[in-house]
Structures are given as structure tokens and as C-alpha cells.
Amino acid sequence: MAKRKTPGLNTQSTADIAFLLLCYFLMTSTMDQQNGLQRRLPPMPDKDQKVDDQKVNRRNIIIVKINSADRLFAGNEMLDISQLKDKIKEFLTNPADDPNLPEKEIKDIEGLGEYPVSKGVISLQNDRGTSYQAYIAVQNELVKAVNELRDEFARTKYGKPFAALSETQQDIAKKAVPQNISEAEPKDVSKK
């Protein structure tokens, strides 16, 4: 007796439809992109280049510390994170020419001319026990302070915000308001 064939389902078209749906969702969906901190390492010096010890005047440095309890210190005073941006802006601009705040150096900036540029450096130090959340919050406030100063410069010189400037104008603003953030290696305060 011959074997009877039972009718089966044609699954080839179902697989094709599933593949097309997968392709559709892959092409139309967006993948979350994690943006990190934008930091540029200094270029490697030439092997033949002489290394000079650069001395930085103490008044030109503000030390921002985050301890293991996520407490924030700028200079010698304890601050709340909401106060940090204004403290850094005051430090970098030195509006009253305070002898305890950074000096200004007259620089000849191409496209702008002579302009007083702050020699201020922000030194960020954190403890090994500092939470990542506190570290990122402090980083954000430091960058926000510099960005606001660049925006104020752009509005004063060009009458529009920094983001609306041309690339050449943005380069001028970056030279007039440099972002000098130095990060020290994390330290373990408990081990002395």
C-alpha cells in the first residue's frame, strides 16, 4: 500500500514575511548612542624635544575635589553641586581683578585681535570611593561653566549664541575662553 501524503503548511512565505519585518524594524528603529565625555589628550611630544618644567602660579589653579562621601570642595570651601558652575565662572573671568584669582594674558587671536585670556586651570581630583554619578555631575557643571562663558563671549562679540557661530568664529571663541581642565589620578584617602 502506498503511503499517503498529508498536506502540510507552506512555511516558506511565513519565513519571508518574518525576515522582511525584521529588516523593517532594524532600518526604522534607532539605537541609543552613549556619548562619553569629550576630552582630548595632549599630543605626544617628539623624542628629541626638550622637556621644560612648567610652573603654574598658584592663583591660576582652582582645585575641585570630590571625596568618597561625594562631598564637593572648590578651593578651600565646601560647595553644593548647584553652586559649582557659578564659582568656576567667577574664577575664570576674575571680573574684579582679584589678586587671588587667575591672571589674564593679552593674546593676539587671529580674527579677533588682542584679547585678555584667563590663565585659569581647573584641577579635578576625586577619591577612589567617589561615585560615578557625582563624578559625572561635577564634570557636567565644569563643562557647563565654560560653555556659558563661551556663549556670553559669542553674544557680546557676534550678537548670537555660540552654537549659531560659524566654525571660524567658534574657534576664536574657544581660544578666547579656553577649557583647561586637568584631572588628577584618583587617590584613596583612607590609605596614607
pLDDT for residue 36: 57
Alpha-carbon distance of 153 to 161, in angstroms, equals 9
Q: What is the largest CA-CA distance in the chain?
A: 109
133-173: pLDDT as tens digits: 888 888 889 999 999 999 998 899 889 898 888 888 888 88
76-104: pLDDT as tens digits: 888 888 888 899 888 888 888 888 888 88
pLDDT for residue 192: 38
pLDDT for residue 183: 81
Alpha-carbon distance of 44 to 110, in angstroms, equals 26
Comparing CA positions, the residue from 185, 179, 184 lying closest to residue 153 is 179
Cell of 104: 589674564
pLDDT classification of 54: cutoffs 50, 70, 90:
low
Q: What is the CATH number of the domain that holds 123?
A: 3.30.420
Does some domain include residue 153? no
pLDDT classification of 191: cutoffs 50, 70, 90:
very low
C-alpha distances in Å from residue 105, one per residue of 19, 89, 117, 172, 178:
64, 17, 5, 16, 12
Question: What integer is the mean pLDDT of 61-82?
Answer: 86
89: domain range?
58-145+179-183
Q: Is the pLDDT of residue 40 over 70?
A: no
Mean pLDDT score of the chain: 81
Instruction: Count up the domains in the chain and report the number.
Output: 1
Cell of 20: 522582511
pLDDT classification of 49: cutoffs 50, 70, 90:
low
Question: What integer is the mean pLDDT of 48-55?
Answer: 60
Q: Which residue has the higher pLDDT, 41 or 120?
A: 120
pLDDT for residue 50: 63
pLDDT classification of 190: cutoffs 50, 70, 90:
very low
Cell of 100: 587671588
pLDDT classification of 112: cutoffs 50, 70, 90:
confident
pLDDT for residue 2: 66
Q: What DSSP assignment string belongs to 133-169?
A: HHHHHHHHHHHHHHHHHHHHHHHHHHSS-GGGS-HHH
Write the Ramachandran bin of 130: left for phi over 0, alpha for psi from -120 to 50, otherwise beta. beta
121-135: pLDDT as tens digits: 888 888 888 888 888
Does some domain include residue 94? yes
Does some domain include residue 169? no
